[in-house]
Amino acid sequence: MTAPALDELIAGAVALEKWPLARLVRLFEDARPEAVPGKAAAIAALETHGALPRAMVAGFTGTPGSGKSTLVGELAARMVARDPAISVAVLAIDPSSYRSGGSILGDRTRVHFPIGERRLYFRSQPSDRELGGIGRATYPVVRVLERLFDYVFVETVGIGQSEVEVERLADRVYLVLQPLGGDHIQFMKAGIMEVPHAFILNKCDVGAAARRSYHALRASIDFARPGEASPPPIFRTSALSGEGLDDVLADLVAHRTLRDAAGRRERDRYFFEKWVRDEYGRFGLDLLERQGGAEGLLARAATFEAAQAAYRPPVAPPG
């Protein structure tokens, strides 16, 4: 892409025009090594246009069937409707087939945004069969969206007992459960109950069942996280009736804080090492250490993407 074409693309994305924004996101979803220089150039162009990281990244995780997609869509729509100065991007991760590798991006069928509203953006991503609840392209795309929107909501693929990687990505994590699901017992075994900053008991329009689940969840949290001075809140919501959604929005606004420089460096280091491991395996990580490690490479480069471009991958693993 020529420099004038890239500048035009970035200008359109900064203005939240749908086509340039979608094309820019697609660039950052491209996992091919030859796409790395284009990503580095795009980030540099974004910074030239004054698009610096400004978004709070909120992660919504939980089991399948807990109503995450509908809940996240309603939260985003309400947030934009109540404040004309706010913009929200939703990145929804869908499971990929272990046979074909494909993914039915069904989350978009449950999220309905007003047509033509630039301040709302929705993108589905396949998980690429990754554990952790997010896909390989999730972090690169978040790095773009956090420069263009005020909030980025990441809805993970429905988690089981090991997928807690959203904790590394998000500034605040919400665990979404449904009444009488029994999920809190499985999560206690896996340590997932220790991850969220807040809990959301969704589908609370079922009456007595929701009340019983609330007290069971509170007891589980107290057992899994004893001695905490401020126990995490539990929000009782219904995405269909709107019950409790304003309380979650108030929590999001109250905790809208940006990561400091040290927090951003640690997040970059973790995902840079993950990128090298995913693409080049153990040999790639060994080679990374010989190049000064992720921290050294990131310190010498201007951005995460520039560090990717500077990394010298192995031609082939040792035989």
In a domain, 187, yes or no: yes
Number of structural domains found in the chain = 3
My answer on whether 108 and 203 are in the same domain is yes
Has residue 318 been placed in a domain? no
Is 72 part of a structural domain of the chain? yes
Average pLDDT for 291-299? 93
Structure tokens at 50: 């004054």
Q: What are 196's two structure tokens?
A: 């969220």
Host domain of residue 106: 53-259
CB-CB contact of 113 with 92 (8 Å): no
**Under a CB-based contact definition with an 8 Å cutoff, are residues 141 and 134 in contact?**
no
Residue in 46, 55, 112 with CA at minimum distance from that of residue 87:
55
- pLDDT of residue 155 exceeding 50: yes
Measure the CA–CA gap between 114 and 31, rounded to whole angstroms: 31
**Max Cα-Cα span within the chain:** 63
Are residues 153 and 24 located together in one domain of the fold?
no
21 with 67, same domain?
no
CATH of the domain at 77: 3.40.50.300
Last residue of a domain, one of 219, 239, 259: 259
Confidence class for position 148, pLDDT limits 50, 70, 90: very high
Look at residues 52, 73, 89 and tell me which one is the last residue of a structural domain: 52
Partnered with residue 175 across adjacent β-strands are 61, 199
pLDDT in tens, 57-113: 999 988 778 888 899 999 999 999 999 999 999 998 877 666 665 566 555 666 677
Judgement on whether residues 39 and 95 belong to the same structural domain of the protein: no
Express as a percent the part of the chain with pLDDT over 90: 54
Residue where one domain finishes, among candidates 240, 259, 278: 259
Listed residue (269, 246, 28, 62) closest to 159, CA to CA: 62
For residue 317, is it within any domain?
no
**Quick one: DSSP state of residue 192?**
G
99/11 same-domain check: no
- Residues 223, 141 share a domain: yes
Spatial distance between the Cα atoms of 236 and 19, rounded to a whole number of angstroms: 37
Average pLDDT value over all residues in the chain: 86
Q: Are 59 and 152 within one domain? A: yes
Residue 215 pLDDT class (50, 70, 90 cuts): confident
Instruction: Find the mean pLDDT for residues 223-228.
Output: 80
Both 160 and 304 in one domain: the answer is: no
Question: What whole-number percentage of the chain has pLDDT above 70?
Answer: 86
2 lies in the same domain as 35: yes
Cβ pair 203, 68 in contact under 8 A: no
pLDDT, tens digit (0-9, with 9 covering 90-100), for 123-147: 988 776 555 567 889 999 999 999 9
109 plus 14 within the same structural domain? no
pLDDT of residue 161: 44
Predicted confidence at residue 79, as pLDDT, reads: 95
- Does residue 186 surpass a pLDDT of 90? no
Q: Evaluate whether residue 13 is within a structural domain.
A: yes
34-43, 178-187, 269-278, 310-319, range with the lowest pLDDT: 178-187
Higher pLDDT pick, 162 / 246? 246
Write down the H helix ranges in 150-241.
166-169, 183-190, 208-224
Q: Is 17 inside any structural domain?
A: yes
Same domain, 35 and 58: no
- 197 and 270 in one domain? no
